[in-house]
Structure 1
């Protein structure tokens, strides 16, 4: 399935194709941001498209990618089960907890959870 645009509670979301290419570099994230500039406020990125380098915080990749989304004022939702990564890293658990308190970067289990978060503001 290709990337698609959906609207959830008045917010336009670019839902990235789960079968799309892995996001392994900052340039890959900029490509998603560029696609979002077609009218989306949020990019819903399947967690399966992120590699271990993203979830291993010491690589710095997560921070670089997340910062690009913040800089371009496009919200990012990492959508999917990341339990194994959370179990392996207290630093990642802290990052996810803190991110989910904000409005710019969220980690959600599925699109339904993302839609609920968008409904709540």
Structure 2
């Protein structure tokens, strides 16, 4: 796992990059958030390709449990990827509702993520 540090409008943003899944379990999500938060970031970008597919199957409750931790600690999160490949209407509704808020958003590019996190 590599942390790329971005600074935009005096906001410090951590972009997490890896070659494989870094969120395979709820504990992984919590650990990564804690690590990023401990390093002084309250804004984070993670790539969809680094999240196990179970996250996007809402029946597993993995997404809800991880994102609840982000909410509790008020760490803003942008998940970057192409979400059109997921056929679940429930997931599409979840993404749509998340994107109405500011805490957790699903976006198509790192540039979009940085702009939203710098607001």
The answer to whether the superposition gives a TM-score over 0.5 is yes
> Which residue of structure 2 aligns with residue 103 of structure 1?
102
> Which residue of structure 2 aligns with residue 116 of structure 1?
115
Secondary structure at the counterpart of residue 97 of structure 2: helix
CA–CA separation in structure 2 for the residues paired with 1:77 and 1:57: 18
TM-score by length of 2: 0.89
CA–CA separation in structure 2 for the residues paired with 1:11 and 1:18: 23
Q: Which runs of 4+ in 1 moved over 4 A?
A: none
Residue ranges of structure 1 left out of the alignment (5+ in a row): none
Which deviates further from its counterpart, 103-112 or 19-28? 19-28
* 1:37-91: CA deviation from partner (whole Å, max 9, x where unpaired): 2111211011001122100111111101110111111111111112101xx1111
Q: CA RMSD in A?
A: 1.6
> Which residue of structure 1 aligns with residue 54 of structure 2?
53
Residue ranges of structure 2 left out of the alignment (5+ in a row): none
Residue pair 2:3, 2:14 contacting (<8 A) in 1 also: yes
Residue pair 2:33, 2:70 contacting (<8 A) in 1 also: yes
TM-score by length of 1: 0.88
